[in-house]
């Protein structure tokens, strides 16, 4: 069974639980490390928990959620080896995987998306990294870590 790690703060509880249920319906095992309560928690802590768990291995990718998706994606992208995308639609989610081989995807629980966030997640899941010239660019992105 394919495994996914997920974490969220208080600003995205409803969307996180909706996505978790959707992923489980699709046959994924979801390790949900986020809160199910609306009491305030800090999104950098949630990003760190998810990334540290992801690094243990056997995960396909991670899903991160906060109020806008911005803070948690920035936090995750500060951590070595992470390429967390914050797509605004299905096309961007597809490109995040095909061209950037993103290993995390982020969403905002308080964002009014033009497309259903579940459809955006599905676009990401159904896409595959194209390699080739894109690998050269990813290598350059990853070489920027620590500069």
- Cα atoms in the 13 Å half-sphere on the side-chain side of 8: 32
The single residue of 10, 32, 66, 90 carrying the catalytic annotation is 66
Nearest-angstrom CA–CA distance, 86 and 108: 9
Active site residue 66: yes
Query: Helices in the chain by DSSP H: which ranges?
Result: 13-25, 43-54, 70-77, 90-98, 117-125, 133-143
Nearest-angstrom CA–CA distance, 47 and 38: 17
C-alpha closest to that of 52 among 75, 68, 36, 85: 75
**Residue 8 β-bridge partners:** 65
Nearest-angstrom CA–CA distance, 22 and 53: 21
Active site residue 84: no
For residues 115 and 90, is the Cβ–Cβ distance under 8 A? yes
List the catalytic residues: 66, 99
């Amino acid at each position: 069974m394919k495994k996914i790690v997920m974490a969220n703060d208080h600003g995205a509880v409803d969307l996180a639980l909706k996505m978790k249920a959707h992923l489980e319906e699709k046959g994924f095992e979801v390790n949900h490390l986020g809160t199910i309560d609306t009491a305030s928690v800090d999104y950098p802590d949630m990003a760190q928990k998810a990334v540290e768990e992801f690094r243990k291995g056997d995960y396909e990718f991670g899903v991160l959620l906060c109020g806008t998706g911005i803070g948690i994606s920035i936090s995750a992208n500060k951590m070595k080896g992470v390429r967390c995308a914050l797509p605004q639609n299905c096309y961007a989610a597809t490109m995040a995987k095909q061209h950037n081989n993103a290993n995390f995807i982020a969403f905002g629980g308080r964002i009014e998306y033009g497309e259903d966030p579940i459809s955006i997640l599905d676009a990401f899941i159904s896409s595959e990294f194209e390699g080739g010239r894109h690998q050269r660019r990813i290598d350059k992105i990853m070489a920027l870590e620590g500069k």
